[in-house]
């Protein structure tokens, strides 16, 4: 009798574990299916850009991910220059290309929720956690996870990520079950992490764990051969969004775009194309020259003067934002929020530009 009860209990436990595994796999498949259409939509454009750009080809060709099963790396580049494009291209050329590519922007998620976003959470782990949820590392199992703006991770999440790199395991928020992590990690930042190391904002042990193979992504002005493809991609995207039929591109428009310096990189190009599509009333796409000439100065003619002018311009904007926020950088009313940039990025620029924020009121 006792043996029968024990065997029945054992069978019930085994059945419950089997149901848990079925639920986990079902959740994983559902989340992958939600991400698939977006990835298909982007992958062809990314491949065309990389194929047409010798600068990007050189970055990717020398990268170890095409010859190994996994790595940790840090993208170093200007803001808006296409970090995710490089990460996707590396993933596609790795041995994990058939598995999922997951992207997460650490700066766009509140610090209190970033751990849940990366590692998932159990039901009841915090207010609003009404059901168990898989994190990005679980979704990226066997594939690649791209963490943008890694410098904005809070200290406790940096520690959890360090554990993933060292032990290849993690736990969901509010849980105690150890979960294996099998994903190649590509981290990215446009801020100076060495400055944040000196100030203690970013952990040195995490930085050196991540910085196995640093990558420098060239800005858009150094790979202008990819501009026509980007223009066509953004044109189709925003024309479909606005319900417009735009079938031609004015010849001079591509010349203007290819001769422009693009200080804001791909993000600036995207904004220009969106603005042009909204204002377009014919089937021919064109960009107003006046939108580009304000910054269209070649950096090779007067590099010292241009650099100084840009720094002075940036310093003026930052000081004005600090004055409005009474010298505060962080918080809802801080200068970082007013400027729409991560706090760590603004801290780095304040230090580099030698701005005395405590004297600005």
Strand, coil or helix: 169: strand
Residues in contact with 114: Cβ distance below 8 Å, sequence separation at least 6, in sequence order? 106, 153, 154, 157
Query: Could you give the domains of the chain?
Result: 2-216 (3.40.50.300), 221-293 (1.10.8.60), 303-359 (no CATH)
pLDDT at residue 304 tops 50: no
At 145 the pLDDT is: 94
Least confident of 184-193, 251-260, 308-317: 308-317
- Separation in Å, CA 189 to CA 115, 122, 327: 18, 30, 25
Name the burial class of residue 345, with classes exposed (0-12), middle (13-18) and buried (19+) by CB atoms within 10 angstroms of its CB.
Answer: buried
**CA-closest candidate to residue 177, choices 24, 7, 15, 9:** 24
Structure tokens at 195: 């400055």
- Separation in Å, CA 56 to CA 45, 85, 232, 355: 14, 10, 19, 35
The residue whose two tokens read 């990005």 is: 136
Instruction: Rank 34-38, 247-251, 317-321 by mean pLDDT and report only the highest.
Output: 247-251
pLDDT confidence band for 158 (50 / 70 / 90): very high
Percent of the chain with pLDDT over 70: 73
Strand partners, 285: 249
Residues in contact with 286: Cβ distance below 8 Å, sequence separation at least 6, in sequence order? 249, 250, 252, 253, 276, 280
Q: What is the residue-averaged pLDDT of the chain?
A: 79
Strand, coil or helix: 72: strand
This prediction has a pTM of 0.61
Measured CA to CA, the distance from residue 281 to residue 345 in angstroms comes to 39
């Amino acid at each position: 009798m006792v043996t029968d009860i024990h065997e029945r209990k054992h069978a019930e436990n085994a059945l419950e574990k089997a149901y848990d595994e079925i639920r986990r796999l079902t959740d994983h498949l559902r989340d992958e299916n939600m991400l698939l259409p977006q990835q298909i939509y982007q992958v062809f454009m990314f491949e065309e850009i990389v194929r047409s750009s010798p600068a990007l080809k050189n970055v990717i060709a020398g990268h170890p991910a095409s010859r190994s099963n996994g790595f940790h790396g840090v993208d170093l580049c200007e803001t808006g220059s296409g970090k995710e494009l490089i990460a996707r291209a590396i993933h596609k050329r790795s041995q994990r290309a058939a598995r999922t590519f997951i992207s997460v922007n650490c700066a766009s998620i509140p610090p209190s929720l970033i751990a849940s976003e990366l590692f998932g959470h159990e039901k009841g782990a915090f207010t609003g956690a009404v059901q168990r949820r898989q994190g990005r590392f679980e979704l990226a199992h066997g594939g690649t996870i791209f963490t943008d703006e890694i410098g904005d991770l809070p200290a406790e999440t940096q520690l959890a990520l360090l554990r993933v790199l060292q032990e290849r395991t993690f736990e969901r928020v509010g849980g105690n079950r150890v979960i294996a992590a099998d994903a190649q990690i590509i981290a990215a930042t446009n801020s100076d992490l060495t400055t944040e190391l000196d100030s203690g904002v970013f952990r040195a042990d995490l930085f050196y764990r991540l910085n196995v193979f640093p990558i420098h992504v060239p800005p858009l002005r150094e790979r202008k051969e990819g501009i026509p493809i980007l223009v066509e991609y953004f044109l189709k995207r925003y024309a479909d969004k606005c319900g417009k039929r735009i079938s031609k591109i004015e010849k001079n428009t591509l010349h203007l775009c290819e001769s422009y310096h693009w200080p804001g990189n791909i993000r600036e190009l995207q904004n220009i194309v969106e603005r042009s599509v909204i204002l377009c009333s014919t089937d021919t796409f064109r960009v107003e020259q006046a939108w580009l000439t304000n910054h269209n100065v070649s950096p090779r003619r007067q590099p010292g003067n241009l650099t100084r002018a840009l720094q002075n311009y940036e310093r003026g904007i930052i000081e004005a934002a600090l004055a409005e926020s009474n010298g505060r950088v962080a918080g809802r009313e801080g200068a970082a929020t007013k400027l729409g940039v991560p706090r760590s990025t603004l801290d780095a620029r304040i230090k580099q530009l030698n701005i005395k924020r405590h004297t600005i009121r």
